[in-house]
Structure 1
């Protein structure tokens, strides 16, 4: 059986710091996928922290209400997958976009935690999940086709 998370030696070059973040996308989530992911993030341990303009706040129950915050403030959510800080800025889109600092992924344990989070997202949203260089959604570094699928590595990407 193939491992769902590739070995650290296969992915380590993708996380060499280069001054850019890495973006993690749940593709074509739509409103239902957003709601499902947000509901799941509420259950994580340690808990995710919702903020408005950098200050802790209560996260609204409905994704529509989170997006409505944009009329007056900047909502965000942060969570740690092991030692990897995962940030969600609630950009209005059918895709859900998280970002990470590749410098946080410097040990096999960090990669296992991030890879586990990618698999959790794919399972939760029932959608593909990709990792790309910052602001380059078409330059796929890692790809998970969906629930139960392994994470695939694209070492030919222009990272």
Structure 2
């Protein structure tokens, strides 16, 4: 069974550039979810690029080691889902927050690549994933409860 992914016509308006980024959150990931996503990202082909203060560096094996960098520098990671650059800045220790430029999602193929990434995140972390406007995690535009259920437009996670 293939997870349902909304048609491009249902989501295109979400990606109309408005000067703000869009955030992808893996909700309540905790240390186990963070480590699972870090391990999963490391296995991607091509691999993501990990930077410390903008300089390429080796991706640490453990998420605790990435968070320890924050005392002295800013770690980040970038990877492309198709033509969509996905950025991870390791901001929070409870949710995992990625950002994308909505202008990168301008074709149905871009949307499918991003949707597959959302499904992959939900499966890898075993946690729900949401897409929101920048810095507004409660304003859910897209919701993925798990990889099998697919992605819902304008849905709200149930408590």
State the TM-score, normalized to the length of structure 1: 0.94
- The equivalent of 1:121 in structure 2 is 121
Contact preservation (8 Å) 2:2, 2:148: no
Separation (CA, whole Å) in 2 of partners of 1:18 and 1:48: 27
Contact preservation (8 Å) 1:127, 1:147: no
- The equivalent of 1:93 in structure 2 is 93
Q: Secondary structure at the match of 1:79?
A: strand
Separation (CA, whole Å) in 1 of partners of 2:76 and 2:29: 18
- The equivalent of 2:107 in structure 1 is 107
- The equivalent of 1:43 in structure 2 is 43
* Aligned ranges 1:1-159 → 2 under 5 Å: 4-154=4-154
Count of residues in correspondence between the two structures: 155
Separation (CA, whole Å) in 1 of partners of 2:38 and 2:58: 13
Separation (CA, whole Å) in 2 of partners of 1:3 and 1:69: 37
Structure 1: runs of 5+ lacking an equivalent:
none
Separation (CA, whole Å) in 2 of partners of 1:49 and 1:2: 30
Structure 2: runs of 5+ lacking an equivalent:
none
Separation (CA, whole Å) in 1 of partners of 2:82 and 2:36: 22
State the TM-score, normalized to the length of structure 2: 0.94
Contact preservation (8 Å) 1:22, 1:132: yes
Deviations 1:1-25, CA, capped at 9 Å, x for gaps? 7852111010000000000000000
How large is the Cα RMSD of the aligned pairs?
1.3
